[in-house]
Amino acid sequence: MTDPRIIQLIMELRHQGITDTRVLAAIERVPRDRFVQAQFLEHAYDNIALPITQGQTISQPYVVAFMSEALQVNDRMKVLEIGTGSGYQTAVLAKLCRRVYTIERYRSLLLQAERRLAELNISNVTAKLGDGNKGWHEQMPFDRILVTAAADTRPDALLDQLNPMGGILVAPVGRDPDKQEIVRYTKNGLGIAEEKLLPVRFVPLLPGIAKEVG
């Protein structure tokens, strides 16, 4: 029997305008309570962002659903995720595509996420510790790229790793946390189309391997 909190969350996401049935099904099938800190378990299915370790967050379910829907991903695609974090968005993407390649700059977060994904028998994810700004050159081109931290400006190094015909990158963009927007970049034969979709507030996309906190 489905947890009534999950049913309530799906109803709320529908009310907020999420219409992609595959995305809604993925949100329903990924147990968010497995990705939050123990002290926040009672809020696991609330439609809010929650703190995780290393000063990072697990995104609000609406934002996860919105970005996943904006990515327009199908089950034949290879997806790059920048910023594994808790692994929750990774798990949702894994339900939607052929394979997810995900990069995290905090080793402890990466190891925790890999453990959670393994416990949930999600096997179509390849993860590594690295600098997300540089992408994953050895595995390019990607059909889709999702960035879960805010880039200061258009992430051209990542756009270079997109499939040139119809590749899509979705990322929060903006140096000022109060002026960030989710932007969708679509590659086509004429260049790169850019659409601003939603005001948001994300942690910044930082370079290099991170020094662990605590």
Tens of pLDDT, residues 186-206:
998 789 999 999 999 998 899
Domain-located, residue 156 = yes
pLDDT score, position 55: 83
Prediction pTM value = 0.96
Domain-located, residue 207 = no
pLDDT score, position 214: 62
Quote the CA–CA distance of 209 and 116 in Å, as a whole number. Answer: 22
Task: Give the CATH number, domain containing residue 43.
Answer: 3.40.50.150
Domain-located, residue 117 = yes
Name the residue with tokens 């189309």: 193
Domain-located, residue 212 = no
Q: How many independent structural domains does the chain possess?
A: 1
Domain-located, residue 116 = yes
Domain-located, residue 13 = yes
pLDDT score, position 212: 81
Domain-located, residue 28 = yes
pLDDT score, position 53: 86
pLDDT score, position 6: 95
Quote the CA–CA distance of 24 and 22 in Å, as a whole number. Answer: 5
| DSSP helix/strand/coil, 154 | coil
**Annotated catalytic residue, options 59, 68, 86, 123:** 59
Name the residue with tokens 């931290």: 149
Quote the CA–CA distance of 102 and 87 in Å, as a whole number. Answer: 9
Domain-located, residue 213 = no
Q: What residues in the chain have per-residue pLDDT under 70?
A: 1, 214
Domain that holds residue 117: 4-200
Asked about 59 being catalytic, the answer comes back as: yes
| DSSP helix/strand/coil, 76 | coil
